[in-house]
Structures are given as structure tokens and as C-alpha cells.
Amino acid sequence: MSEKPKPNIGLDLQRIHRVITRGVAVAQEKCEAFAEAGFPDNTTREGFWKYCQGLEANAHGHHRTEDDLFFPYLRSRITGTDFDQLMAEHQELHGILAKMQAAREAGSLADLGRALSEMAELWHPHIEKEQRELSPEIMAGVMTIPEHIEMAQKAAAHSQEHAQPAPLAVPFLLYNLEADDRAHFLAVMPPVLTQQLVPVVWKDEWAPMKPFLLE
Ligand SMILES: [Fe+2]
Ligand SMILES: [Fe+2]
């Protein structure tokens, strides 16, 4: 029998990165396909632009959580990580997310494609650095289990506040994750969110994103 994994902020970091990494890859692939062949119908068009909005929201929320909570907390505990550089990269990513938003609002697949390429180019080295320097092993060494739990709760509340609109951002987060990772977040989210808002109240709002999400 495998033991239940201990709460670890380094693992949560990897999970959120997987959400955004999948989002960028799916958006890039579909953007190219729709630029070439057009949208098959209006529901797909609506769903695609909502998916892009969900991606922007989650990337923005994640960077805010790192800048406002995570990095200030870790600065005094971890040496050798250039937190200022990571935050400067967030600023660059912020500029790219603004381009994605402008492309979305203009309905321009060409502009979106360019912004997504820029995003992918910066995103991958950025998260590789974070995952190497803030790995689960390193995090386990500098924080106690109760500190991991407390930070996870604060991070969830903070990113939910900043990842807006929530009716797109929360389903985007959950359904860009494979089942195991999704179960992890479902277990820590408030029941009103997972049992009422996402499956019932917000359903019609996010349902058009479904062709781009995991089951
Ligand atoms: Fe980051
Ligand atoms: Fe990150």
C-alpha cells in the first residue's frame, strides 16, 4: 500500500504549473488549427476564447500568489534563489498576458498565436528554474508540515481571489489536471465551490470550454 503523500508546497507548485503548461500547449495547437481552417461553429469559437481567458486568469493568479505570498515567505529561508529575477520574469509574463487579452478581445488568432509563442518561450525556462530551486525536497527541508498546510490554504484563497472570472478560472484549473492532481485540489477546495458553484451554478458559463478540457 502506498502512503498518502505529505502536504508539500513544492508539489502544489508543480501541479499549478501543469495546469498552465497544458493550457498554453492546447491554446497554441488549437489557435493554429482554427487560424488555418476557421472555427467549426460558434459554440467552439466561444469555448476557445473562454479557454484562453481561463488560461490568462490562472497564469495571473499563480504569479500573484508567488509574488505576494510565496516568495516573500521563502526569501529568508532559501539562499541561492534569485527571487528578484523570478519576479522580473513575472512582469514580462504579465506583459505577454496583456497581449493575449488584447488578442482575445479583438478576436485575432494571428495576434494570439504570436503572444502564445512568446509565452511558451518564457514559461518553460521559468518553471524549470522554479521547480529545480523550489523542489519538493528543498521545500520539505525548510518548512514543517503545518507550515505547508497553512501556506497551501493561503495560496488557494489568494489565487482564487486573483484568478478572475472564477466561473471560468476554477473549472479551467480543475479540468486541465489529470484525475489524481484534480482530486488533490478538490479535496482542499470549499464544498460550496466543488459541489454547487462549478457543477451547477457556473455550469452554463464554462461548458463551452469542454472540448478543450480533460474528462
Ligand atoms: Fe513563477
Ligand atoms: Fe510558478
- Measure the CA–CA gap between 150 and 90, rounded to whole angstroms: 24
Q: How far is the CA of 1 from the centre of ligand 1 (A)?
A: 35
Q: How far is the CA of 210 from the centre of ligand 2 (A)?
A: 25
Burial 131-155 (b: 16+ CB within 10 A, else e): eeebbbebbbeebeeeebbebbeeb
- Measure the CA–CA gap between 89 and 95, rounded to whole angstroms: 10
pLDDT in tens, 164-187: 999 999 999 999 999 999 999 898
Report pLDDT for 1.
47
Q: How far is the CA of 36 from the centre of ligand 2 (A)?
A: 32
Q: How far is the CA of 2 from the centre of ligand 2 (A)?
A: 28
The yes-or-no verdict on residue 201 having pLDDT over 80 is: yes
pLDDT in tens, 68-96: 999 999 999 998 899 999 999 999 999 99
Q: Collect residues with CB below 5 Å from ion ligand 1.
A: 66
Q: How far is the CA of 59 from the centre of ligand 2 (A)?
A: 9
